[in-house]
Amino acid sequence: MERIKVIHVVTRFDKGGSAENTFLTVIGLDKQKYDVLLVKGMSVESAMGEEERKAVGHSLSRAERAGVRISTVPDLVRDIRPVKDWRAFWALLNIFRRERPHIVHTHTSKAGFLGRWAARLSKVPLIVHTPHGHVFWGYFNRPTSLFYALLERWTARITDRIVVLTEQEKKDHLSFCIAPEDKFEVVHSGVGLDNFRSVCRDPIQTKEDLGIPSRAAVIGTVGRLTPIKGHRFLIDAARGVLAEHPDTVFILIGDGESAEALRSLATRLGVSGNIRFLGWRPDVAEIISVVDIFVFPSLNEGMGRAVVEAMALGKPVVASRVGGIIDIVRDGENGLLVPPADSDELAAAIKSLLSDPAERERLGLEGKRQALLYDAERMVQRIEVLYSIGRRR
């Protein structure tokens, strides 16, 4: 029986959420049924450190061992670069015409725009797109955001199915009239939870390795250090928290272009002594296992994989009431939601949980139960069903 040829296209293949979602999908697809090709950019915008690059290399090797073919398009970049974009479009067009796939599945805005139009011109039978959130607010000024919405609306016309990560993301797309409701499919982003279900490292040793006093309360977050992730509001909130809980330590896991600015902000606010910038780490599960509260202050988020990972470790979550986060964190049930960009509310929520260990435990246990809904295998099964239904239409 001829295998179904599917090509996944993603701009940045780093250790961010959209790339991890793509990675788990391509390695999880049944290789007896699917011939899978992953087309990626060079990920130059990710500014990855050496450890993250090693981890990406490991992921690519694992994908190849799983039977995934890999192709790199050097001109496929995230920023708008007319010359590079034109070359990337022609590179994708040539790949699609040579490979003649049954399905093209694109991920994120740039790969989604170029890849879907190249697939259309190549007469690909089924075109699927996963936006992994959206850029309709929080990233650009209003005219630019509306321009991107128009591009998405235009390109949605040639798209057979749009995969969104949460019901809220679907609602956001519908509010901008991107496509008819029946074109959307909600498939939660799968998370590889094996490392988060069983952590072997001694928590006391982990704290010691990080230079954190054994009795200190720990607030942690994970995410690329970029403005949309809202780290500056967490650092500002630290002032209010430390006024009542002076021994608290904040740990920020992740690299990015905002790193130096955030360090400077912490110094100006007088909280730098209580904040640890850990950079990108391969041992996220071990580190988050020692936090008392996981905080996710993002200003716009498709879903929030790091939130699910923290929940799998039984950690109570304080997060912004934005995007797909509100479908994962249910206020008062498995965490607390606060308005985005509101340092005072963020500090108040953190302080309330620091003062109530029983509530932290209750929220954490419920989150651990709900994290099972986001298993990677379940995501891949839903994607395969979507492919099968789409090809029969």
SS3 for 131-167, per residue?
CCCCCCCCCCCHHHHHHHHHHHHHHHCCCCEEEECCH
For 120, counting Cβ atoms within 10 Å of its Cβ (0-12 exposed, 13-18 middle, 19+ buried), the class is: middle
Same domain, residue pair 86 and 232: no
Q: What's the predicted TM-score (pTM) here? A: 0.83
Number of structural domains the chain divides into: 2
Please return the burial class of 225, using the count of CB atoms within 10 Å of its CB with bins 0-12, 13-18 and 19+: buried
For residue 327, the domain's CATH number is 3.40.50.2000
259 and 115 within one domain: no
The per-residue pLDDT for range 255-285, each reduced to its tens digit, is 988 999 999 999 999 999 999 999 989 888 8
Among 276, 282, 223, 222, which residue's Cα sits nearest to residue 248?
276
Residue 294 buriedness (CB in 10 A; 0-12 / 13-18 / 19+) = buried
pLDDT tens digits along 353-393: 999 999 999 999 999 999 888 888 889 999 999 998 866 66
Do residue 369 and residue 379 come from a single domain? no
**Can you say whether the dihedral through the CA atoms of 298, 258, 267, 293 is positive or negative?**
positive
User: How confident is the model at residue 217, as a pLDDT?
Assistant: 95
Same domain, 355 and 273: yes
Query: Do 204 and 246 sit in the same domain of this protein?
Result: yes
* Listed residue (376, 354, 343, 390) closest to 29, CA to CA: 376
Instruction: Examine the pLDDT at 136 and tell me if it is beyond 80.
Output: no
Answer yes or no: do 174 and 202 share one domain.
Answer: no
Give the residue from 187, 79, 223 showing the smallest Cα distance to 139: 79
Same structural domain for residues 280 and 383?
no
Asked if residue 231 and residue 206 are part of one domain, the reply reads yes
CA dist., res. 72 & res. 52, Å (int): 18
Q: Are residues 132 and 159 in the same domain?
A: yes
CB 46 within 8 A of CB 70: no
**Residue 312's domain spans which residues?**
194-374
Task: Please tell me whether residues 184 and 223 are part of one structural domain.
Answer: no
Question: What is the dihedral sign for C-alpha 173, 179, 181, 183?
Answer: negative
In tens, the pLDDT along 39-85 reads 999 866 656 778 888 888 999 999 999 999 999 999 999 888 899 99
Same domain, 174 and 198: no
Instruction: Write out the DSSP string of 171-240.
Output: HHHHHTT-S-GGGEEE-PPPB--HHHH---S-HHHHHHHTT--TT--EEEEES-SSGGG-HHHHHHHHHH
CA distance 12 to 77: 7
Kindly state whether residues 289 and 383 are assigned to the same domain: no
Residue 198 has pLDDT above 80, yes or no: no
- Closest-CA residue to 169 (of 327, 319, 307, 323): 323
Report the interhelical angle of 305-312 vs 357-371 (nearest 10°): 110
| Residues forming beta bridges with residue 302, ordered by sequence position | none
**DSSP code for 251:** E
The two beta strands, 317-320 and 293-296, are parallel
